[in-house]
Structure 1
Amino acid sequence: MDTRLRLGIAITALVTPFSNDRLDLAVLERLAERQINAGINGLAVCTVTGEGPTLSPAERAAIIRTCVRVASGRVPVIAATGTNATSTTIALTLEARRLGADAALVTVPYYSKPGQKGIVHHFEQVAAASDLPVIIDDSPSRCASGLTLASLEALAPVGSILGVVHSCGEEARLTPHLRQRFVSLSSDDGSALSFLACGGDGMLSSGANVEPRLFASLCRSAKTGNIEIATALHDRLQPLIRALAEDGSPAPVKYALHVLLGTLPEVRLPMVGVDANEKAAIFAALTGLAESRRQARAV
C-alpha cells in the first residue's frame, strides 16, 4: 500500500447516500464503482464528507463492508475511525480492521483540545492496538488543535503510521525527513496543485466525488512532471471547487451528484441542503465542464 500511496494518489472522501434517512447501499455501490472505474486510487469512507458523525455503528459497518467488497483489492479502502476518545478510536479501528479496511484515517482529537503530549500518546496507543496502517488527519480548523512538527517527529518511529492529511496544503512546512517518512496528502482541493508542486504525494478530495477522472488526472500529471497539463486541469476544476466550497461538504457535493447522476441530495442534520444560489453556482460549474468536454471532442 505504501508504494501505491507514493505515486500521485487521488483518494476520494466518499459521500454516504441516504434515502428517507436510511443508508442506500445500492447507490453506495454505484458511487464506489464509478470512482474506481474513473481511476481514483482509494476510497475513504465514514469521513466528515461521508457524514461519519451521523452514522450508527451498524451503518458504519455496512459502509466499510460494502466498499471493501466493491473494491475487491483494486484500490485501498480507508475507514475514518478517529474520535476524541482514545478508547473509542481504538475500538473503531479494530472494527475497521475486522471488516477488511486497508487503513484507518484518524483525526487529531477534537473539542477537548489535548496538548501535544496527549496527541502524541493518542496516536501511539491507536497504532499499537492494531496492525492496520494509520493515516493522521490533521485539521486544526475542525479540531481546535493540530500537530506540531515536533509531534510529527515524535511519531516518526511508529512504523504503522503511514501518512498525514493536511487540511491547508501545508506540505511546504515539513522537513525533508518528514517528507520522506510520511505520505503527505492534502484535503484542500483548491490548493491541490501547489501542494503537489511542493512535494505532496496526493490528495484526499471531496470534489473527486463529482469529477473523479479529472482529479485523478490532475494528481498523476502533477506527480509525473506534466505541470502544464496539471495546471490546465486545475484551472478547469476551479469553478467547481469554488462552488462546492460555498457551504461546506457534503451538501454541495451531493447536489452536484444529483444533477449528474440523479442520486438523492439528502443529508442529515446538522447539515442542510444547498440553497438556490448555491444550486445555480454548482449547475453553472457543471455546465462549464460539460462544455469544455464537448469542445475537446470537437477538436
Structure 2
Amino acid sequence: MDIIAPVVTPFRNGRLDLDLYAEHIRNITAKGVDAIFVAGTTGLGPALSVEERKALLEAAASAARRVIFQVGSLVLDQALALAKYAERFDAVEAIASVPPYYFPRLSERQIAKYFRDLCAATTRPVYLYNYPAAVGRDVDAKAAREIGCLKGVKDTNDSIAHTLAYKRLMPHMRVYNGSDSLVLASFSVGLDGVVASSANYVPEVLARLREYVARGDLERARSLQFAIDEVLEAARPLGYSSAVYELVEIFQGYDAGEPRPPIYPLDPEERAWLRAAVAQARSKLAP
C-alpha cells in the first residue's frame, strides 16, 4: 500500500524555489513516502505554466525514485507535450490528468477522447485524476472503464465505496483514494494506497498508520486518523491550499515557501491561529 505525496510547490516572490522543492521531497521520502505526485491540486498544478511544470518534474525526478506527473490542461497540445516530456525521466512511473474542466456540458465520449489522445502520446501508464469537487463532474468507474486505456486512478472523493468501484470494475488498475480523511479506510479495504496531502507534513504518521493497519492494530490506527482529521478541520477555514505550507513548518520544522496568488499565503494572524489550533492534535500525533 503506497503513500503518495502530492507535493506542495514552494514559491519565493512569485518564482519557483526548486532547491527547496527537491529538499522537501528528499525529507518526506526518507520518512515513509513511497512516491511523489507532481503538479496536482496541492502542488497548484492548474496555476502553473508549462515551463514551470517541466521544471518541477525535473527537480522531482532528481530527488525521488518514483514520480507521477499530472499534466491536465484545457489546452490539449500542452497536456500532450508534457506527457511526451516526461518520457525523458526514468523516475516517472505514470502520467495523470484531470478530465477537461470548466466546460459543463462535455459528453462522456469527449472526455474519453481526451484520455485516449493522452494514452496515445506516451508509453507510460495513464491515470485518471478524478476530483469532482474541483472539476465539476465525476468520471466514475463505469465511465473510466469505457475509456479503455487507463491504468490507474486517483479518486479524490469522500466515499470509499466510490473509490472501491474502480477496483471492482477494473481489478488491473492501480486505485488510490485522495482524501486525507480516508487514509485509514483506504488501507483497511486494500486499495493500492493513498495520495494524501498530509504526507507533506506528517509523512511518518502516515507510515505508522499503515504499519498499525498491517498489524491489525486498528485502535491505534484510528487514533492517528482522528488526529489528522482534527488538523484538517482546523486548516480548512483558512484555505487548505494556503494552510498546508504552514503545516509543513509546524510539523516538520522548516520553511516550505509560500503559494502564489491567486492562492495567497496566510497572514501572520492566521499562521498564529493555526499553530494554536493544531497544538492538541500535534501532541496526539507524536510517537
Q: Same fold (TM over 0.5)?
A: yes
SS at structure 2 position matched to 1:102: strand
| Residues 1:242 and 2:233 aligned together | yes
Following superposition, the deviation at residue 25 of structure 1 comes to 1.7
Segment of structure 1 superposing worse, 76-85 or 146-155: 146-155
Following superposition, the deviation at residue 290 of structure 1 comes to 4.6
Once the two structures are superposed, the pairs formed by residues 99-118 of structure 1 within 5 Å of their partners are 99-100=89-90, 101-113=92-104, 114-118=106-110
Following superposition, the deviation at residue 123 of structure 1 comes to 1.1
Q: Which amino acid aligns with 1:253?
A: V
Segment of structure 1 superposing worse, 172-181 or 248-257: 172-181
**Alpha-carbon distance in structure 2 between the residues aligned to 1:126 and 1:59:** 20
The correspondence for 1:86, drawn from 76, 100, 106, is 76
The correspondence for 1:97, drawn from 87, 90, 103, is 87
Cα pair 1:84 1:112 within 8 Å, conserved:
no
Q: Which amino acid aligns with 1:111?
A: Y
**Alpha-carbon distance in structure 1 between the residues aligned to 2:166 and 2:245:** 37
Q: Which amino acid aligns with 2:36?
A: L
**Alpha-carbon distance in structure 2 between the residues aligned to 1:58 and 1:176:** 35
Q: 1:254 to 1:167 in 2, by over 3 A?
A: same
**Alpha-carbon distance in structure 2 between the residues aligned to 1:79 and 1:56:** 14
The correspondence for 2:153, drawn from 164, 179, 186, is 164
**Alpha-carbon distance in structure 2 between the residues aligned to 1:203 and 1:151:** 21
Q: Which amino acid aligns with 1:202?
A: G
SS at structure 2 position matched to 1:84: coil
Following superposition, the deviation at residue 262 of structure 1 comes to 3.5
Following superposition, the deviation at residue 176 of structure 1 comes to 5.7
Q: 1:290 to 1:200 in 2, by over 3 A?
A: same
| Residues 1:154 and 2:146 aligned together | yes
Number of residue pairs matched by the alignment: 282
Q: Which amino acid aligns with 1:89?
A: A
| Corresponding residue number in structure 1 for 2:199 | 208
**Alpha-carbon distance in structure 1 between the residues aligned to 2:216 and 2:273:** 32
| Residues 1:70 and 2:67 aligned together | no
The correspondence for 1:55, drawn from 48, 57, 72, is 48
Following superposition, the deviation at residue 131 of structure 1 comes to 0.8
**Alpha-carbon distance in structure 2 between the residues aligned to 1:274 and 1:26:** 22
- Normalising by structure 1, we get a TM-score of 0.84
| Residues 1:130 and 2:92 aligned together | no
| Corresponding residue number in structure 2 for 1:4 | none
Q: 1:225 to 1:182 in 2, by over 3 A?
A: farther
- Which runs of no fewer than 5 residues in structure 1 stay unpaired? 1-7
Q: 1:150 to 1:291 in 2, by over 3 A?
A: closer
Q: 1:47 to 1:148 in 2, by over 3 A?
A: closer
How far does the alpha carbon of each residue in 1:24-79 deviate from its partner, in whole angstroms, 9 at most, with x for none?
122112100111100111111111211122323332222111111112x3xx1111
Following superposition, the deviation at residue 281 of structure 1 comes to 5.0
- Give me the identity figure in percent: 25
Cα pair 2:131 2:138 within 8 Å, conserved:
yes
The correspondence for 1:191, drawn from 179, 182, 196, is 182
Following superposition, the deviation at residue 241 of structure 1 comes to 2.1
Q: 1:84 to 1:224 in 2, by over 3 A?
A: farther
Q: Which amino acid aligns with 1:166?
A: D
Q: Which amino acid aligns with 2:171?
A: Q
Following superposition, the deviation at residue 178 of structure 1 comes to 2.4
**Alpha-carbon distance in structure 1 between the residues aligned to 2:20 and 2:248:** 11
Following superposition, the deviation at residue 286 of structure 1 comes to 4.5
SS at structure 1 position matched to 2:151: strand
SS at structure 2 position matched to 1:271: coil
Following superposition, the deviation at residue 232 of structure 1 comes to 2.1
**Alpha-carbon distance in structure 1 between the residues aligned to 2:184 and 2:209:** 8
**Alpha-carbon distance in structure 1 between the residues aligned to 2:17 and 2:117:** 34
Q: 1:95 to 1:230 in 2, by over 3 A?
A: same
**Alpha-carbon distance in structure 2 between the residues aligned to 1:143 and 1:214:** 30
| Corresponding residue number in structure 1 for 2:220 | 229
SS at structure 2 position matched to 1:245: helix
| Residues 1:273 and 2:262 aligned together | no
| Residues 1:24 and 2:17 aligned together | yes
**Alpha-carbon distance in structure 2 between the residues aligned to 1:293 and 1:249:** 19
Cα pair 1:13 1:45 within 8 Å, conserved:
yes
Following superposition, the deviation at residue 236 of structure 1 comes to 2.5
- Which runs of no fewer than 5 residues in structure 2 stay unpaired? none
